[in-house]
Structures are given as C-alpha cells and as structure tokens.
Amino acid sequence: MTSVSARMRWASRAQFFGSGFIFATWGVHIPTVKIHYGVDEAALGLAMLAAGVGALLGLTQASRWIGRHGARGTAGLCGAIYALLLAGLLAMPSYGALLGLLAVFGVLTGVFDVAINTEAAQLELRNGHPMMSGMHGMFSLGGMAGAVTGGAALAAGMTPQSHLTLVAATMALSIALSSRWMLPKEATTFTSTGDGFRLPHGALAILGVLAALGLIAEGAIYDWSVLYLKQELGSPQQQAALAYASFSAAMAATRFAGDAMRARFSPALLLRGSAWLAAASMTLVLLADEPWLALIGFAGVGAGFANVVPILFAASARVPGVEPARGIAAVSAAAYLGFMAGPPVIGFLAQVSSLTAALYVVVAFAAALAASARYANPA
C-alpha cells in the first residue's frame, strides 16, 4: 500500500482549495452575470439548473473515469478545464450560450468533485486517523479567499472580465501542477470499472440522501448569499461579497478543528449538534434587518454545516462490503446532485415568492439533518 507523504497531503489540499476558490469566484459574480445578461431570478435559477444537469451527466461517468484513470489524472484534467471556463462566464454572446457553458461547467465540476473526495477518502484510510474535515476546510478556505479577493478586486476597480480571466489562469495552473503529487493511479482505481454509474442503495443510499440535504442547503448559501445581502438588505456588492466570505471563513475554521471533534464525539452527536446550529443561524439571517447581523448569522450557518459532509463521506468509506473509493464516489454523486439542485430550486421559489422566503429551505433541511443524525454512525 502506498504510504501517505506530506507532499500527497498538500497536493490534495491544493485541489480542495482550488475548487473552493473557483466556486467562490462564480458566487461573487452571480449578480454581475444577472446584470450582464439582463435576466431575472427565474432565468438565473435556470442557468444554475443547466450546471446541475451538466453535473448529473458528469456523475454518470465519474466512477468509470476514476476507475480507469485514477483520481490524479481525472482531477488534474477536469479541474484545470473547469477553472478555465470561468473566463467565459461574461464572454458568451447570449443567455442561451451561457446555459451551454454552464452545462459543461457542471459536467467538469461534478467529476472533479468526486475525484478529489475519492482521493481524500483514500488518504484518510491510509493515514489511520481523521483527515477529511481538514481537506474540506481547504475548500472553505479557498471559498473565503475567493470571496475576499473578488470583493477587493471589484472595489479596486478591476473589471469583472479581467478578474475572471486572472482567476481562471491561476487556478488552472495550480490544479494541474498539484495533481502531479496526488496518489498514483493504481491507488484510486476500482477493482471493476465496467459498471459505470449506479445509484447508491442500502446504507449508502441513506448517507447519500443526508449528504444531499446538507449540500442542497450549503449550495443555496454559496450561490444566493451575496445576492441576498445586496437585494434584500440593500448592501453594495463589495459588502455583499462578505456574506460568502463570512460563511466560508467560519466553515473553514470549524473544519480545521473538525478532525479533532470527530475523534472525540460520535458522528451522530456531532451531526445533530451541527445541524441545529445551522438551522438556528439561518433563521437569524432571515429575520435580521441589518447586514452586520446577517453576516454573523451566515458565519453560524458555515460553522453548522462545516462537518456535515466530512462526517457522511467518511462514513461512506467504511460501509461493509463496499470498496472505499466506490463508496465515497457513490455518496459524493448523490450529494453533489443536491449541491447543484439547491440553487435553482431557490431561484424558482424566489421568483414565485421572495428570496427571503425561499431561503427558509435551508432551515428546513438543516432540521431534517438533525432529526436523521443517527444514520451517520458507522456500521
């Protein structure tokens, strides 16, 4: 069995950081995209749905690609192209062309996400102690950095297109280079690769549903928090970007402490407490009439959701009779469907009611996670 070197750990962390940074950059520019193409919330939700459909198509092939090429090759190629597509978000000739770009964006995002989580699960198993929370902490740290630098770039007068192009080039290079030091191909290939995508069943299905609930709520914050602060509370876009930054910063800090928490508390207890914190904090956001109070609430939501995915992904790698890599890929796929489905659902609900009312979905799903936390205990 390949030992886990410091270089391998940092390579995986770089992949998660890059994923968070890219996603934050998209989140910061959602209001820009809305204005640039002259669309309303429903059309913006449809654009996010296009990315979700693309992710679904990618997820049907993610296990096959990883099984054939390993997490390293899959993450390096898909992640670099995924980053480069950022540069096209404001360069499409029409709204219809944007939908096509976001569909491809979704395909690559889904495959990249499964690949890096498969890598992280294998590193944790080989290392012999919790590592998954720390890896996801790097995603949140990347999200915080992407949001802060995005807001700073806009405040400094950098054009949105220049900012997107700079981030695209930098992240593509970082992901491509760091993938060279991930686990070798044979460490993350499956013993059988011909099955393609199969929906999880049994214990994996339960874990997948719970992860999807968490990521529907988390995805809603990533994609709608900036617009919420700008549109519902009247904040300028530079200040509104802090909604994403406060959420990601709190999530990162909690995830970096999460491995120690996972070693001390049972998965069910930690998941239950985390979910109730997220529900209470999101309620504060939606009842607040001052931006600073909403920012505190977004931080609480980030802390609450921080360990949901690491707990559930780690559990999926320990399901009896299932290869760890296939288990994490299956639950990642189900969870990612939730991650991509959440934002467009919020968009359509916002169109028929209001963005504030639509975001109560986050409260409801966090409460559902708390009520179902017992299923997170290892078999």
- pLDDT, tens digit, for every residue of 9-27? 999 999 999 999 998 898 8
pTM passes above 0.85: no
Whether 1 has a pLDDT exceeding 80, the answer reads no
The CA R_g of the chain, rounded to the nearest whole Å, is: 19
Intra-chain end-to-end CA distance of the chain, in Å = 24
Superfamily per CATH, domain 6-183+198-376: MFS general substrate transporter like domains (1.20.1250.20)
> Which residues touch 244 (CB under 8 Å, ≥6 apart)?
24, 27, 28, 143, 147, 221, 222, 225, 226
Tokens of 70: 């390993």
Rounded mean pLDDT of the chain? 86
**Helix, strand counts (H, E) of the chain:** 14, 0
Whether 364 has a pLDDT exceeding 70, the answer reads yes
For 119, the 3-state DSSP assignment is helix
pLDDT band at 210 (very low <50, low <70, confident <90, very high): very high
The answer to whether residues 122 and 66 touch, using CB atoms and an 8 Å cutoff, is no
> Which residues touch 348 (CB under 8 Å, ≥6 apart)?
42, 45
Which of 352, 339, 359, 365 has the alpha carbon at shortest distance from 275? 365
Between 365 and 226, the higher pLDDT residue? 365
- pLDDT, tens digit, for every residue of 182-200? 988 776 665 554 555 566 6
Pairwise CA distance, residues 189 & 249, whole Å: 34
Whether 258 has a pLDDT exceeding 50, the answer reads yes
- pLDDT, tens digit, for every residue of 57-91? 887 777 788 878 888 999 999 999 999 999 999 99
Angle at 111 between CA 142 and CA 333, to 5 degrees: 95
Q: Domain locations in the chain?
A: 6-183+198-376
For 13, the 3-state DSSP assignment is helix
